[in-house]
Amino acid sequence: MSHAKQLSIWDPGIVRGAARDVIGKLHPRTMARNPVVFVVEVGSALTTVALLRDMTAGRPGLGFEIQITFWLWLTVLFANFAEAMAEGRGKAQADTLRKARTESIAKRLIGPSVGSGSNRTPYEEVPATSLRKDDVVLVGAGEFIPADGEIIEGVASVDESAITGESAPVIRESGGDRSAVTGGTRVLSDWIKVRVTSDPGHAFLDRMIALVEGAERQKTPNEIALNILLAGLTIIFLLAVVTLQPFAMYSGAPQSVFVLVALLVCLIPTTIGGLLSAIGIAGMDRLVQRNVLATSGRAVEAAGDVHTLLLDKTGTITLGNRQAAEFVALDGVNERELADAAQLSSLADETPEGRSIVVLAKERYGIRGRELADKRAVFVPFTAQTRMSGVDLNGRQVRKGAADAIGRFVAANGGAMPVNLQAIVERISRSGGTPLVVAERTRPLGVVHLKDIVKGGIRERFNDLRAMGIRTVMITGDNPLTAASIAAEAGVDDFMAEATPEDKMRLIRREQQDGRLVAMTGDGTNDAPALAQADVGVAMNSGTQAAREAGNMVDLDSSPTKLIDIVEIGKQLLMTRGALTTFSIANDVAKYFAIIPAMFSATFPVLMTLNVMGLKTPESAILSAVIFNALIIVALVPLALHGVAYRAMTAEALLRRNLLIYGAGGVIVPFIGIKIIDVVITALHLA
C-alpha cells in the first residue's frame, strides 16, 4: 500500500469520479443522513418551486432569484463533492488492493492433513471463494495464498508486497509468532499448510477494501456527538429564520422565500456539515496510507485520547541489536591494541554486534578493516559450545566472547584472568550493557562494551508525546538495572522490567482503573490478552493470528513506532472536525452583517449602518454571502482531506492556536471574501 502512489488532492481521475457521484448523492434518503446538508437541499427545492411559480406567472427580472437558486443547489453539490472526493481517494486505494485479490484455485486437503510432514497429501482443487473457516489448504511455491489463515505445517518465504508494499520476502512458519498469512500474498519458495481463519468476504483484504471505500463506515462516537450539535444548531437557526418572517411582517418588510432560504443556508453550519464525512473518510485513508488497518473508526478516535503508550523496548526504543560502544582495556594494555584485536576477531563476524565492533574501531582509532583473505586467516565461528568466536592468524589466536568462555580459553592456553577484569565485566553488566571479553591466547586484553543503542530522534518524539500529555512506558524483558539505564537514556516516563504477559495485563488494568486510556503494540500470541484489554491495540502484521484478532488495528509494516503515528492521526481527526466547526460558526457573524441590512434596508434605510462591508446593493450582498458560503466548502476540501496541521504542544497552547486560526480567522475571512465576491459580481453586472 505504501507503493499506492500518494495521490494529489486534485488528482484528475478522482475529481472526475467525484463529479459523477455528486448527483447520485442527491437522493433524499442519502441526504437525510446529514441533517445540515439535507436542510440546504430542502431549501433549494423550496426556492426552485418558488422560482418555477414566478416564471410561470411571467414575473419579469428574476435574475437574482435564479442566481440564488443556482448557488443553493451548488452548495448541496459542493458538499456532496467533498464527500465523493474522500470516497474517491479511498476507492483508488481499494482498486490497488483489489488487483491483489486474484481469483485463484485453492488446494483443499482431504482427510487427515496434519503431521504428515510432507506436501504429498491428497487434496482437491476448489475456487478460493468456496473456502470456509477451518479448511486446510496446501500452498506451494509460486502459488497465491487463497485466504487468511495460520500455518499449521511447513515453512516458506512469502511475498507480502501486495498488502505491505515491502518487496523483500518474509519467512512464515508454523508455530511461534510468525504463523499468520494473509490471503492474496504469494509463496515464493517451499510449501506450507494453512488453516483458513476467515470466511470469504471477511478476509483481511475485503475488510480493508470496505474500510477505505467508506462502505463500512460507521459514525464514530465523537462524530455522532458533533452531528447532534450541528443538528441542534440547524434547528436553532431554522427557528431564528422562520420567526424572522413574522417580525419582518410586523415591521412592514415581509421577505421573499429566496431571501429567507438564503439567510438560513448561510447561517446553518454548512461548511462543517458538508465536510464532516469527508474528514472521517480522509482520517481512515491517512491511516491506510501509513499501512495501518483499523477495524473501526472508533479505535482511531480512541487513539487520539490515549494517555499511556506501552512500547516494547526492542525495535521501538532501541535498535534491534546491541552495538559496541566502548573499549575498556586492562592495565598494561593499550586501548588501541585492544581495539585492533577486537576488530580482527570480528572481521569475519557478520552479526550486527560483530560489524559494530569493526565500525567502532574504525571510528575511534582509525583502524581500517583489513582484507583477511591475503593473510591466510582461519576464522573460528561462534558455536553454542564454545560461546566465543575469533580468528587464527599468523600464529595469533584472537578470541572474543562471554567472560567465562574466554576465561576457559585463556586457562586452557596456560594464562590467567586478572582480578580487575571481573570488576569491569560486572560494571558493564550493571549498567545494562553486555561485556565481551577479548583475549589473545594467554593474555586477556580487555572488554568490549556492547549496549542497546537508543534510536536517533526517539527522545525528541517522547518529549513531543509528553507535551501532548501522553506517558510512555517501556516494556522489556531486561533486568531492572538495564531497563533503568535505557529508560533514562531514551527519556521514557516509566519502564517495566522483566515483564511477563501477566505484568503487562496488570499494568494496563491499573492504568485503566485510574481513568487512563492505554495503547500498545504486540505480536505474539501471549500478547493477545493485553492487546484485547488495551484501548488501542496495534498488532503487528508479522504476528500471530491471535494477536491480529485481539487488537483493534493491524500495522502492515510491523513497525513498532507506528503507534505514535496512529495517536497523531487520531488527534488530527478530531482537531480537524473541531476547527472546521468553529470556523463554520464564526463565519455567521459576517453573514449577518451582509444579509440583515440588505433584507430590511428598504424599510429601515438606517440599517445600512450595519453594512460595514459596504456591499453594493441588497441583492449583491445576499448573493455574495450565498456564493461565499458555497465556495468555502470547496476551498476547505484540501484541509478536510489533509487534516489541520498537527503540532505537539499542550492542550492549552493547541487550543489557543486553533482558536486564533479558525475562530478569529473564521470571523475575519468571510468579511474579506464576501466583499471580494461582491466587487466581482457587481463588476460582472450579476446583481
Please list the active-site residues: 312
Name which of 336 and 516 has its Cβ closer to other proteins.
Answer: 516
Name which of 21 and 305 has its Cβ closer to other proteins.
Answer: 305
- In whole angstroms, what separates CA 407 from the centre of its chain? 51
Residue 662 CB, nearest distance to other proteins (Å)? 8
CB-based burial label for 229 (10 Å; 0-12, 13-18, 19+):
middle
Name every residue whose Cβ is closer than 8 Å to that of residue 679 and which is 6 or more positions away in sequence: none
Report the C-alpha gap between 649 and 655 in whole angstroms: 10
Name which of 26 and 654 has its Cβ closer to other proteins.
Answer: 654
Report the C-alpha gap between 401 and 482 in whole angstroms: 20
Name which of 449 and 471 has its Cβ closer to other proteins.
Answer: 471
* Count of beta carbons in the 10 Å neighbourhood of residue 66: 14
Residue 643 CB, nearest distance to other proteins (Å)? 10
Residue 35 CB, nearest distance to other proteins (Å)? 12
Long-range contacts of 12-15 (CB under 8 A, 24+ apart): 13/92, 14/85, 14/88, 14/89, 14/92, 15/85, 15/88
* Contact call for residues 268 and 237 (beta carbons, < 8 A): yes
CA-to-CA dists, residue 63 to 59, 492, 671, 686, angstroms: 11, 66, 24, 8
Name which of 126 and 649 has its Cβ closer to other proteins.
Answer: 649
- Quick one: DSSP state of residue 526? G
Name which of 325 and 608 has its Cβ closer to other proteins.
Answer: 608
Q: Which helix or strand (DSSP H or E) is residue 528 part of?
A: helix 528-533
Set of cell numbers at residue 384 = 553454542
CA-to-CA dists, residue 530 to 186, 480, 549, 667, angstroms: 31, 21, 12, 47
* Count of beta carbons in the 10 Å neighbourhood of residue 132: 11
Residue 327 CB, nearest distance to other proteins (Å)? 43
Residue 483 CB, nearest distance to other proteins (Å)? 24
Angle between helices 204-213 and 63-100 (to 10 degrees): 170
Set of cell numbers at residue 199 = 470466511
Name which of 11 and 305 has its Cβ closer to other proteins.
Answer: 305
* Contact call for residues 390 and 345 (beta carbons, < 8 A): yes
Residue 605 CB, nearest distance to other proteins (Å)? 9
* Count of beta carbons in the 10 Å neighbourhood of residue 371: 9
CA dihedral 215, 216, 217, 221 (to 10 degrees): 160
Name which of 544 and 584 has its Cβ closer to other proteins.
Answer: 584
Residue 336 CB, nearest distance to other proteins (Å)? 49
Residue 593 CB, nearest distance to other proteins (Å)? 10
Q: If you count them, how many residues does the chain have?
A: 687
